[in-house]
Structure 1
Amino acid sequence: MRIFFSRLLICTVLLFLPLPGFAAEQQPPPGAAIASAHYLATAAGHEILARGGNAFDAAIAVSSTLAVVEPISSGLGGGGFFLLHDAQTGNDIFLDARETSPIAATKEKYLTADGELDRDRATNGAWAAGIPGLPAALVHLATQHGRLPLSESLAPAIRTARDGFPVYERLVKGYSSRQAVMERYPGTRAVFLSSGKPLQTGDIFRQPDLAATLEQLAAKGFDGFYKGDVANKLVAGVNAQGGQWTAAELAAYRVKIRSPLRFRYHNWDIVTAPPPSSGGIALAQILQILEPYKLQDMDETRRVHLIVEAMRRAYRDRTFYPGDPDFVKVPVKLLTAPDYAAGLRSGIHPEKATPSTALSGQPTPLEDEETTHFSVMDGEGNLVAATQTVNLLYGSGLIAPGTGVLLNNEMDDFALRPGTPNAFGVMGYEANAPQPGKRMLSSMSPTFMISNQKTAILGTPGGSRIITMVLLGILGFDNGLGAQDVAALPRYHHQWLPDVIDTEPEALSQDAVMALRKMGHAVTVPAENKDGAASSHSWGNLQTILWNRAAGTLEAGSDPRHDAGKGTVILKSDKQ
Structure 2
Amino acid sequence: MAETLQALATHGHREFYEGEIGRRLAADVQAKGGSLSAEDLSAYRATITEIARTPYRGGGFYLPGDLTAGPTFADVLSRLGAGEMTGAHQPDGQSFGAYADAFAGAYRDRLAGMGDNEAPHSPACTTHFSVVDRDGNMVAMTQTLLSVFGSRVVSPSTGLLLNNGIMWFDPEPGRPNSLAPGKRCLMNVCPVIGETADARFAIGASGGRKIMPAVAQLSSFLIDFGMDLDAAFHHPRIDASGGPAVIADEALSPAILAALAETRRVVTAPRTVYPNSFACPAGVMRRGVENFGASEIMSPWGDAVAEPSGAGDPS
Common fold by TM > 0.5: yes
**Which of residues 256, 263, 277 is equivalent to 1:512?**
256
Is the Cα–Cα contact under 8 Å of residues 282 and 315 in structure 1 kept in the other structure? yes
The alpha-carbon deviation at position 536 of structure 1 amounts to 4.9
The alpha-carbon deviation at position 253 of structure 1 amounts to 1.1
**Letter paired with 1:465:** K
Residue in structure 2 matched with residue 365 of structure 1 by the alignment: 121
Residue in structure 2 matched with residue 105 of structure 1 by the alignment: none
Aligned partner of residue 237 in structure 1, secondary structure? helix
Aligned partner of residue 311 in structure 1, secondary structure? helix
Aligned partner of residue 430 in structure 1, secondary structure? coil
Is the Cα–Cα contact under 8 Å of residues 486 and 557 in structure 1 kept in the other structure? no
**Letter paired with 1:468:** P
Aligned partner of residue 296 in structure 1, secondary structure? coil
The alpha-carbon deviation at position 282 of structure 1 amounts to 1.5
Residues 74-473 of structure 1 mapped to structure 2, 5 A cutoff: 210-277=1-68, 279-291=69-81, 292-297=83-88, 300-322=92-114, 364-367=120-123, 370-417=125-172, 430-473=175-218
Aligned partner of residue 25 in structure 2, secondary structure? helix
Aligned partner of residue 254 in structure 1, secondary structure? coil
Aligned partner of residue 280 in structure 2, secondary structure? coil
Residue in structure 1 matched with residue 265 of structure 2 by the alignment: 522
RMSD of aligned alpha carbons: 2.6
The alpha-carbon deviation at position 312 of structure 1 amounts to 0.9
What CA deviation, in whole Å up to 9, does each residue of 1:19-64 have, x standing for no partner?
Answer: xxxxxxxxxxxxxxxxxxxxxxxxxxxxxxxxxxxxxxxxxxxxxx
**Letter paired with 1:484:** D
Distance (whole Å) between structure 2 residues aligned to residue 363 and residue 254 of structure 1 = 28
Aligned partner of residue 459 in structure 1, secondary structure? strand
**Letter paired with 2:105:** R
Distance (whole Å) between structure 2 residues aligned to residue 270 and residue 573 of structure 1 = 32
Residues 6-85 of structure 1 mapped to structure 2, 5 A cutoff: none
Indicate how the Cα distance of structure 1 residues 537 and 388 shifts in structure 2: closer, same or farther if over 3 A, else same.
closer
Residue in structure 2 matched with residue 493 of structure 1 by the alignment: 239
Distance (whole Å) between structure 1 residues aligned to residue 290 and residue 95 of structure 2 = 30
Aligned partner of residue 287 in structure 1, secondary structure? helix
**Letter paired with 2:241:** Q
Distance (whole Å) between structure 2 residues aligned to residue 439 and residue 226 of structure 1 = 17
What CA deviation, in whole Å up to 9, does each residue of 1:176-210 have, x standing for no partner?
Answer: xxxxxxxxxxxxxxxxxxxxxxxxxxxxxxxxxx0
Aligned partner of residue 288 in structure 1, secondary structure? helix
Q: Give the TM-score normalised by the residue count of structure 2.
A: 0.88
Indicate how the Cα distance of structure 1 residues 366 and 483 shifts in structure 2: closer, same or farther if over 3 A, else same.
farther
What CA deviation, in whole Å up to 9, does each residue of 1:111-145 have, x standing for no partner?
Answer: xxxxxxxxxxxxxxxxxxxxxxxxxxxxxxxxxxx
Aligned: 1:559 with 2:296:
yes
**Letter paired with 2:311:** D
The alpha-carbon deviation at position 526 of structure 1 amounts to 2.8
Distance (whole Å) between structure 1 residues aligned to residue 12 and residue 130 of structure 2 = 24
| Structure 1 unmatched ranges of 5 or more | 1-209, 325-361, 419-428, 528-533
Distance (whole Å) between structure 2 residues aligned to residue 394 and residue 435 of structure 1 = 25
The alpha-carbon deviation at position 463 of structure 1 amounts to 0.3
Q: Give the TM-score normalised by the residue count of structure 1.
A: 0.50
Distance (whole Å) between structure 1 residues aligned to residue 295 and residue 27 of structure 2 = 40
Indicate how the Cα distance of structure 1 residues 547 and 397 shifts in structure 2: closer, same or farther if over 3 A, else same.
same
Indicate how the Cα distance of structure 1 residues 556 and 415 shifts in structure 2: closer, same or farther if over 3 A, else same.
same
Is the Cα–Cα contact under 8 Å of residues 236 and 400 in structure 1 kept in the other structure? no
Is the Cα–Cα contact under 8 Å of residues 263 and 271 in structure 1 kept in the other structure? yes
Compare the two structures and name the one with the higher strand fraction. Answer: 2
Indicate how the Cα distance of structure 1 residues 568 and 481 shifts in structure 2: closer, same or farther if over 3 A, else same.
farther
Is the Cα–Cα contact under 8 Å of residues 247 and 277 in structure 2 kept in the other structure? no
The alpha-carbon deviation at position 318 of structure 1 amounts to 0.5
Distance (whole Å) between structure 2 residues aligned to residue 570 and residue 227 of structure 1 = 37
Distance (whole Å) between structure 2 residues aligned to residue 408 and residue 223 of structure 1 = 19
Residue in structure 1 matched with residue 286 of structure 2 by the alignment: 547
Aligned partner of residue 525 in structure 1, secondary structure? strand
Percent same amino acid among aligned pairs? 28
Indicate how the Cα distance of structure 1 residues 225 and 461 shifts in structure 2: closer, same or farther if over 3 A, else same.
same
The alpha-carbon deviation at position 366 of structure 1 amounts to 4.8
The alpha-carbon deviation at position 516 of structure 1 amounts to 2.8
| Structure 2 unmatched ranges of 5 or more | none
The alpha-carbon deviation at position 565 of structure 1 amounts to 5.7
The alpha-carbon deviation at position 383 of structure 1 amounts to 2.0
The alpha-carbon deviation at position 567 of structure 1 amounts to 4.6
What CA deviation, in whole Å up to 9, does each residue of 1:499-542 have, x standing for no partner?
Answer: 210234x243334334433x231111236xxxxxx985453321
Distance (whole Å) between structure 1 residues aligned to residue 169 and residue 143 of structure 2 = 17
The alpha-carbon deviation at position 573 of structure 1 amounts to 6.2
**Letter paired with 1:524:** V
What CA deviation, in whole Å up to 9, does each residue of 1:351-392 have, x standing for no partner?
Answer: xxxxxxxxxxx983254x511111122233332111111111
**Letter paired with 2:266:** V
What CA deviation, in whole Å up to 9, does each residue of 1:444-491 have, x standing for no partner?
Answer: 111111244211111111100111000011011112222233233322
